[in-house]
Each structure stands twice: as structure tokens, then as C-alpha cells.
Amino acid sequence: MGGNSARMHVSRLIEDGDLLINDGYRAKNTELSSTGLPFARAQNVNNGFRFDDDVDRFPEKDLHKVGVKLSQPGDVVFTSKGTVGRFAYVRTDTPSFVYSPQLCFWRSLNHKKLHPQWLFYWMHSKEFFEQYSGVAGQTDMAEYVSLRDQRRMHITVPPIERQRAIACILGSLDDKIELNRRMNRTLEEMARAIFKSWFIDFDPVRAKAAVRREHPKWTDEQVSRAACPKLKPEIARLFPDSFEDSELGKIPKGWRVGCFGDVVRQLRDQENPLLSPGTLFRHFSIPAFDDGQSPKLEYGENIRSIKFQVPENSILLSKLNPEIPRVWMVDVQPGDRAVCSTEFLVLSVLPPFTRSFVYCLALSPLFRQQIEGLVTGTSKSHQRAEVSSILKVAVIIPPASVVRAFKHAADSLLARTLECRRESLTLAALRDALLPKLISGELRVPDAERIAGRCA
């Protein structure tokens, strides 16, 4: 892989037609809608894109107004206003969106000179960090990096073959991380679909009730087989064939209404990490949850406030801004020193319930609706639900036999998500260790041409 890296002005790449750097479309509120393409802002970007159902959208009939400010595969996205320093790469399977002014995008126009994915990894390098952080510190607004300043930066560009090799090596790790993320989403959706069917929609009970009305003299075995052919007979028999009234409406006969405190117990053990400055803690924070549910490994000397201890097999439930459903089935191994923000409730599960049941319950629509109704505080960004009120939230309590059946159906699914997340943390650590050495040229890849050819 011959040739040397060349340090050049970004403006030269722009003048030569190799690179486009631009910011987003300045849309008026009247131009936005509830339908169309997502109108991406800084909060939608963090090593990927997350567009919730309530994201503003830009009507497709007006896309002619935005010009180049419509996303394209290969774009490298940089949050330049508000929250500066988040990045994302527009993959070929990323849905199209419109850039807002909070975002800048760097778009390679000549892939023979500037590999798009290499550019994404370069923007994680020391060279780019020192330039944008220095410029941001000189502006009147602390969180702002102008287009002009970005276009005046320098960039060290290696030969295209080496760019491809770097993009392949680091991209293969990110591809596996992305695959794990999608698998986790599928596994979680499967577990939550079972929970919804059994404990929210009561599908087995409704089906059995309908069959019972048509065949009042049938045995429970006959009703179960006819009503629930997809369930194992021993599971179908666990559900009743009628409903009764409760404070939460109609619930399966024999079930009862209790409170969240009947299902979980709050753990309040605290720890001051500063007293163990050389100890490595797994730190479960609100930002860490938002950043892919990846706890940070930090030494005690860098954790500046009192935290809750997080034992094995616990669940974290955020009381901060409960309209954002932050429920964390944490992965804490024996011997780990783990702590979390006091914005979380640390919960242990009371028998016969399991973490999978509590996790799905805490994410269920009725539970979330009740939590959101408990908020106090006038600031939109710092509303909280009272802990005592959360533990008093009304929930439906099914028999232990049904809970155990759900455990067998869902525990393995959610356990697999923890395995995938654990693997992704290892892959991310490897990527983060390789990235600066590959970008700087400190680490060479002996078989880079072979890797580049295989991964092109």
C-alpha cells in the first residue's frame, strides 16, 4: 500500500469538487408536519439516528426547497450547534431525512480520493477534535462550530487504498455492533409482544371466553385447545375463560390488582466512589443509557457525587422526565463495582416475578401513562416522579403459575440481549483502541491491500 499521507486544507478539497460541507435547512415551523421525512436535529444523532414517533417531519412535496440538505448514504454528520461533537454515518439502509441547522454534513463527492466511511472515522480522531474544540471555545456561543471554521480546517488524507482498509477494519466492527443492536431490538420486541398478548390484551382469556360462550359444556381442556392452538396445552390451561371487574377495568377472573411495590423492592444502598479513587466502577448514568445503554467504566476519582449501588439482577427505572421510558435491565457480573445515578430507582424483583416480567411491565403503555401523571416540577427538562408514588402505581397481578410460564417464554430472549450488548461493548472497546492508531498511521495493516480488496 504505497504512498504517503498528505496534510491539506479542507478548502482545497472543496475547491477541487471532492468534498461538500454544509449545514441544514432553516425550516419555518409552518413548513414542518407530522408526515413526511424526519427533520433531524442534534438529539436525533448519537453514533446513529433515532427518530421517535413525535419527531418533526418535512413534507415530501416540499423537498425541492432543501436541495443538497437531504441526507445521502455516505454522509458524515456532525452536531455543530447545541450539543457539539456527536457523529453519525448515513448507511445505505438509513431512512432518508432532512438536515436541520443544528447539523452539519461532510459529503465526499469523489470516492476515489476521499472514502466516506474513512472520513467518518477521521472525525473521531485527535486531529479533528483539537480543531473543532479549539474553534468552539473561541465563539461567543459555547456550543457552536461555524461552517466557515469547518471549511478552514486541515485534514491528513492517506492514500485511498489505506482509507479503504481502515474503513473496512473499523466498519466491520461497527457492522457487528449494528447487527447486535438490531437483533436486540427484535428479541425485545418478541418478549414484549408476549407480555402484551398475555397481560395487556389478555388474548388467551378472550379467546377462551369466546369458545366457552359457543360451547358451554366443553371441558377446560377442549376450550384451551380450540381457543389457543399456538400455545402449549399446559400453558393455555393456566388462563381463565372469563373476566371480572376491577379498578383497572375488566381483568381475567382470579387475577387481582395490586401496586408496583408488590412486584419490586427499592434498593437504597449508597456509595461515594471518591472514597475508592483507584477502583474501576461500572457507572450507569442517564447519558450512558441514552448512548446505547452502555455503562461507562470510570475510576472512583472521576465520579464526583454520591451514587446508588447496583447489584446483580437488578433493574433501573428513571424517575427523571418519565415521558422518556428509561428502563434498564443492567448487566452486572459477580465482582463488579457498579453504581448508578440517583435519578434511577434501583429495583430488585420480588418472587414469583422475574426481571423479564418487570422490564416489560415498566415499559407497558398503562404503566408509562400512570408514571407520566406523577411528575412534579415546572422545568420541562427536569420533571420527576416521586419514588413513593411510583411504588404505589396500580398494576395487574397474575397468578404465579402464569408468571412462571412467561419466565420460560421471555427470559431466554432478554438474556440473549444482554449477551449481545456485552459483545458489542467488547467490539466497541476494540474499535476505539484501533481507531486512533489506524488514523494516525501509528498502526499499519500488513495485509491492508488484501483486506481492502475483500471489503470493497
Query: At 383, which helix (H) or strand (E)?
Result: none
Domain 262-397 = CATH 3.40.50.1000: no
pLDDT, residue 440, reads 87
First-last CA distance in the chain = 15
pLDDT, residue 189, reads 96
**CA dist., res. 342 & res. 308, Å (int):** 6
Instruction: Return the CATH fold of 6-157.
Output: Adenine-n6-DNA-methyltransferase TaqI; Chain A, domain 2 (3.90.220)
pLDDT, residue 447, reads 44
| Cell 438529539 belongs to residue | 43
Cell numbers representing residue 50 in the block: 433515532
Q: Amino acid identity of 311? A: P
* Segments in 228-354 forming alpha helices (H): 233-236, 286-290
Question: Given its phi and psi angles, is residue 335 left (phi above 0), alpha (psi -120 to 50 degrees) or beta?
Answer: left
DSSP class per residue in 246-270 = -TTS-EETT-EEEEGGGTEEEE--E
Q: What is the pLDDT along the chain (456 residues), one digit of tens a residue?
A: 445 888 999 999 999 999 999 999 999 999 999 999 999 998 888 778 888 777 999 999 999 999 999 999 999 999 998 788 889 999 999 999 999 999 999 999 999 999 999 999 999 999 999 999 887 754 454 478 999 999 999 999 999 999 998 999 999 989 999 999 999 999 999 999 999 999 999 999 999 999 999 999 999 999 999 999 999 999 999 999 999 999 999 999 999 999 999 999 999 999 999 999 999 999 999 989 988 888 999 999 999 999 999 999 999 999 999 988 999 999 999 999 999 999 999 999 999 999 999 999 999 999 999 999 998 765 556 789 999 999 999 999 999 999 999 999 999 999 999 999 999 988 888 888 889 989 988 877 654 334 434 444
pLDDT, residue 445, reads 66
pLDDT, residue 329, reads 95
The answer for residues whose C-beta is within 8 angstroms of residue 68's C-beta and 6 or more apart is: 20, 22, 107
**CA dist., res. 213 & res. 211, Å (int):** 5
Q: At what angle do helices 160-195 and 355-362 cross, to 10 degrees?
A: 90
Query: What are the tens digits of pLDDT across the range 122-140?
Result: 999 999 999 998 877 544 5
Equal fold, 6-157 vs 262-397: yes
Domain spans of the chain?
6-157, 168-239+400-456, 262-397
**CA dist., res. 298 & res. 281, Å (int):** 5
Strands 251-252 and 243-244: antiparallel
